[in-house]
Amino acid sequence: MELIKVTEQKEPHVALIELNRPKELNALNPQLMQEVRDALVTLDKNDGVRVIIITGNEQAFAAGADIKQMADKSAIDMLLLDQFTTWDQIRKTKKPIIAAVSGFALGGGCEFVMTCDMVIASETAKFGQPEIKIGTIPGAGGTQRLTKAVGKAKAMELILTGRFLSAEEAHFYGLVNKVVPKEMYLQEAFTLAKEIAQLSPVAVQLAKESINRSFETHLDEGLTLERKNFYLTFASADQKEGMKAFIEKRKPEFKGQ
């Protein structure tokens, strides 16, 4: 594991996965997501582990998919990369996953948080789907899960403008369970994890599966459409311009092509 750190029993029955690309604000590339998937498959099989916490660092949970790796890709490159199979495997994890978020949770980072089951946020956390500002759209469930989490009007505003939500706003809209001072977000995630870890692991897993069924009944259809539309943006000049402008640290000029 190069891009994540895994501690199997940080507390009894609680495992911790730390995203570890600090220089890139934990930008999510396929390798990092595959490492997370592999860790979750292993932890799911480990009878000693009942609850899993995923965290980044104080500055960022994750600032999105890796723009530098995507910038030059064509729509067909993105289709063939098939990165979302890994994400689908992550969402099949049976044990509950708590995201402990400080700093940026943007784009794919916000989508990753929403793929987890519960969220503890530091007061410094910032959530958002800023893909529109670089000429693309969410591709890992943002249009579906954010809409369910915060309602249509707010999801439209966030995804169409790329605005960020503060931790307090995210709590108000039901995206996160609890907001705590920045020194406490990981500790608070462990408190929640330990409470759940004392309960019947069988009942906990079945409850999680049942809640997800209610939440995800129409999700597959929505995800399929979102993926195709995400790939389609990579056929546009605007996506090339948006990502190039990000890398060159300038404002993009979108032409609608």
The contact set with ligand HXC (CB under 6 A) reads 24-25, 27, 63-68, 104, 106-108, 130-131, 134, 138-140
From 24, 35, 131, 226, the catalytic residue: 131
Helix 142-150 crosses helix 152-161 at what angle (to 10 degrees)? Answer: 140
Of the pair 207, 222, the CB lying nearest ligand HXC is at 222
User: Is 209 marked active-site?
Assistant: no
User: Is 169 marked active-site?
Assistant: no
From 111, 169, 188, 226, the catalytic residue: 111
Of the pair 201, 252, the CB lying nearest ligand HXC is at 252
Please, what is the minimum distance in Å from the beta carbon of residue 67 to ligand HXC?
A: 4
Please, what is the minimum distance in Å from the beta carbon of residue 81 to ligand HXC?
A: 10
Determine contact, residues 130/165, Cβ cutoff 8 Å: no
Query: What Å distances lie between residue 222 and 33, 74, 101, CA to CA?
Result: 21, 22, 26
Please, what is the minimum distance in Å from the beta carbon of residue 223 to ligand HXC?
A: 11
Of the pair 54, 106, the CB lying nearest ligand HXC is at 106
> H or E stretch including 124?
none
User: Is 168 marked active-site?
Assistant: no
Please, what is the minimum distance in Å from the beta carbon of residue 142 to ligand HXC?
A: 7
> H or E stretch including 255?
none
User: Is 39 marked active-site?
Assistant: no
From 56, 64, 103, 108, the catalytic residue: 108
What is the spatial order of strands in the sheet that 104-106 belongs to? 60-62, 104-106, 126-128, 164-166
Strand, coil or helix: 155: helix
The label of the residue with tokens 């480990």 reads 46
From 15, 60, 63, 65, the catalytic residue: 65
Of the pair 149, 204, the CB lying nearest ligand HXC is at 149
Nearest 10 degrees: Cα torsion 175, 35, 96, 217: 70
Active site residues: 65, 108, 111, 131
